[in-house]
Amino acid sequence: MASPDAVFKALADPTRREILQLLRAGPMPSGEIAARFPSAWATISRHLAVLRDAELVTTERNGSSIVYELDTTVFQEAVEHLLNWVQPRGSNAKRRS
């Protein structure tokens, strides 16, 4: 399981969030992803490695290309994480004036 730290760090970069948005349309090989961005392929490849370490994407080799796919399970965890924070801890939590 990926650490919350890795997940939030991965989400902190706008390029990586764009990559995730892109993958919502479906799985895509590394080269095709890189072609959509102005950065060098190597740069995108490292962003993908960060996303993979955070377990936000999974990879599968398909012949000579490596296909990236969105993994929504970690998103679910992140969402639950945030939802827990939204609910104040004490059910009767009222601020004192």
The residue ranges that bind DNA (CB under 7 A) are 9, 12-13, 15, 29-32, 34, 38-43, 45-50, 59, 61, 63-67
Find the binder of a copy of itself among 8, 31, 35, 41 (CB under 8 A).
8
Strand order in the sheet with 65-70: 28-29, 65-70, 57-62
Tokens of 84: 């827990």
CB of 59 to DNA, least distance (A): 6
Find the binder of a copy of itself among 20, 45, 52, 55 (CB under 8 A).
20
Q: Is 55 left (phi over 0), alpha (psi -120 to 50) or beta?
A: left
Q: Compute the distance between CA of residue 84 and CA of residue 97 in angstroms, rounded to an integer.
A: 25
Q: Is 48 in the site for a copy of itself (CB under 8 A)?
A: no
Find the binder of a copy of itself among 21, 39, 43, 65 (CB under 8 A).
21
